Amino acid sequence: MRGHTSRVWDVDSDAKGDRLLSASGDRTVKIWDWQKKNHSERLVTTLSGSTGDVYAARWHPMGVSRLPEWRRSPKLAPLTVLLSQQNHVAAGGYDKIVRLFDVESGSILKTFTGHSLSISSVMFNPLGNLIVSGSKDSNIRFWDSVSGLCIRTLNAQLGEVTSVDMNDVYLLTSSRDNAIRLWDVRMVSRTSEINSKVGLAAYSLSSNAASTPPPV
């Protein structure tokens, strides 16, 4: 899939695996339907509005595949149809702003400002009501996706935040100070820390992880 005019910094797929997104140095996020046989038809839309490189982008997690089985009944068919397509994307990058995009219209629904340096990582919490962003300013911010307000800031890193990942209970962060930190988001307390001899670019926490933190 080709179409960007500069390097691609990040990619993500929706919950069903039908659509992909790519964040690029050309200041855009592109949405792709990789199943189209004709290469020229694979580009679905381009999300614009950023004024610098887009380093990170993620789909909103709400999709039909995430609905529990007991909710998939005929009585809830309208709800299932409504949630069957993920139509929101969060993106951030060099211009220090997190943007929430509507994929269907290509419009910016909300902007989230507060970081003082470029944003290196973004993601939604599993419910999709919060956006978490990590930045080169060493801060991790939690944003209310409806109001646009920053509801909490974490700052325990001694270097830029390189990645964030989150499940229902824990937030995992990596940073340029050679450390991985695991946070309990219920109490917003740090539960574990792993130090490395080299800077960490990324680390992942499974959304199906158990409620007990991994041993360190």
**Mean pLDDT in order along the chain per 10 residues (216 residues):** 95 92 98 90 95 97 49 42 67 98 95 97 93 95 94 83 91 90 77 50 45 40
pLDDT attached to residue 191: 58
pLDDT attached to residue 10: 97
**DSSP secondary structure string, the chain?**
----SS-EEEEEE-TTSSEEEEEETTS-EEEEETT-SSGGG-EEEEE---SS-EEEEEE-S--GGGS-GGG-SGGGHHHHHHHSS--EEEEEETTSEEEEEETTT--EEEEEE--SS-EEEEEE-TTSSEEEEEETTS-EEEEETTT--EEEEE---SS-EEEEEE-SSEEEEEETTSEEEEEETTTTEEEEEEE-SS--------TT--SSPPP-
pLDDT attached to residue 177: 86
pLDDT attached to residue 187: 75
pLDDT attached to residue 190: 56
| Full set of structural domains in the chain with CATH | 8-155 (2.130.10.10), 167-209+212-216 (no CATH)
